[in-house]
Amino acid sequence: MRQINRIKDGLVNQKKSISFTFNGHILTGYEGDTLASALLANNKKLVGRSFKYHRPRGIVTAGSEEPNAIMEIGNGAYKDPNTRATITELYDGLEANSQNHKGPLGLILWLL
């Protein structure tokens, strides 16, 4: 899959591809990517929902101060909640799930 949001000559090693999953979808990134940069490169703009009103949230910063890209990393007994995607280095087989939503992440809920 072509990554339309990827900088051509960035700081990642584009010769070494890494496979990971986000909400059950298999995606690819490169050695040196963070989870956030790999998600953006794969055109995943919606990464979570707000805690109270479940409004859509995307990645807005590149550092540890990122308030929106909070993920649950791992599976089974090895789940690590509230992990920041902007400081999580991508590794082969990483399983990431978004938090604070019911049903599919893209589901539009009309709150009255």
Mean pLDDT of the 72-79 span: 91
Q: Which residue has the higher pLDDT, 110 or 53?
A: 53
- Structure tokens of 65? 């101060």
Distance CA 55, CA 42 (A): 22
What secondary structure letter does DSSP report for 36?
H
Q: Determine the CATH number of domain 15-98.
A: 3.10.20.440
What are the residue ranges spanned by the domains of the chain? 15-98
For the segment 23-38, what is each residue's pLDDT rounded down to a tens digit? 999 999 999 999 999 9
pTM: 0.85
What secondary structure letter does DSSP report for 47?
-
